[in-house]
Amino acid sequence: QVQLQQWGAGLLRPSETLSLTCAVSGGSFTDYSWSWIRQPPGKGLEWIGEIDQTGSTNYNPSLKSRLTISRDTSKNHLSLKLSSVTAADTAVYYCARNYGYRSIADYWGQGTLVTVSS
Amino acid sequence: DIQMTQSPSSLSASVGDRVTITCRASQSITSFLHWYQQKPGKAPELLVYAASSLESGVPSRFRGSGSGTDFTLTISSLQAEDFATYYCQQTYNTPRTFGQGTKVEIK
């Protein structure tokens, strides 16, 4: 069974860098692309970006200047870094596996709440 | 960006009711449309992919339809465990946008 386990700092000050890791187990890591998605408290889902099987990335233009998505294929880890955070970046962050050429998010991590507050 | 508009934003229904949620894309996305269910405090779960294909393990009372710009998620007979928020998402291109969600509440 595919499992995605996330971790990272849950409380940040404005201007700091958000850093999350997603560990994948129970299935192939390099055969799939992987996404990060976030959800501000009480609001809807926002696609952050993705990394494909070759390591190429696609980012949401609204976050692109601050965003880095990478992977470590030796550890089956996916990572997210978002710099210069503000209160608007407060959200639950999810990693997800993308299945097939339609990039269907079929497995999700448990979510990590990141709060940005001074 | 492709805008995804869901309606209604919320609805109240009773167990056994037939429920229909619509999702409209701002341009054609062919069948690159997927539906997710999210319960409070939990990650979203995939229900329907490619507009009309039921994810393994999802009850047959869920049905997706549509293509192009107009899509529908129908729950034929609402069950207690179906009270949740439902999201559509397009993966036709990036950024892969979501609808704003439809909250299904108990009447």
Distance (Å, whole) CA B52 – CA A98: 18
Residue with tokens 């393994």: B56
Chain B touched by A63 (CB under 8 Å): no
pLDDT of residue B106: 87
- Give just the sign of the alpha carbon dihedral B52, B107, B99, A111: negative
Region of B56 on the Ramachandran plot (φ > 0 left; ψ -120 to 50 alpha; else beta): beta
B70-100 pLDDT, tens digit per residue, is: 999 999 999 999 999 999 999 999 999 999 9
pLDDT tens figures, A26-49: 999 999 999 999 999 999 999 999
User: Which residue in this structure is represented by tokens 């996404």?
Assistant: A35
**Percent residues over pLDDT 70 in chain A:** 100
Q: Are the beta carbons of B43 and A108 separated by less than 8 Å?
A: yes
**pLDDT band, residue A9 (cuts 50/70/90):** very high
| Nearest chain B residue to A63, by CA | B95
Tell me the per-residue pLDDT of A12-30, one tens digit each, with 9 for 90 and over.
Answer: 999 999 999 999 999 999 9
B93 CB-near residues (< 8 Å, 6+ apart): B2
Q: What is the mean pLDDT of residues B11-28?
A: 97
| Mean pLDDT score, A91-95 | 98
Q: What is the pLDDT of residue A36?
A: 98
Tens of pLDDT along B25-78?
Answer: 999 999 999 999 999 999 999 999 999 999 999 999 999 999 999 999 999 999
Share of chain A above pLDDT 90, in %: 98
The pLDDT score that the predictor gives to residue B58 is 98
Residues B15-29, mean pLDDT to the nearest whole number: 98
- Measure A42 CA to nearest chain B CA, in Å: 10
Identify which of B95, B100, B101 has the shortest CB distance to residue A60: B95
With cut-offs at 50, 70 and 90, classify the pLDDT of residue B107: confident
Picking from B1, B32, B94, the nearest residue to A102 by CB comes out as B32
Find chain B residues with C-beta within 8 A of A62's C-beta: 95
From CA B90, how far away is CA B69, in angstroms rounded? Answer: 10
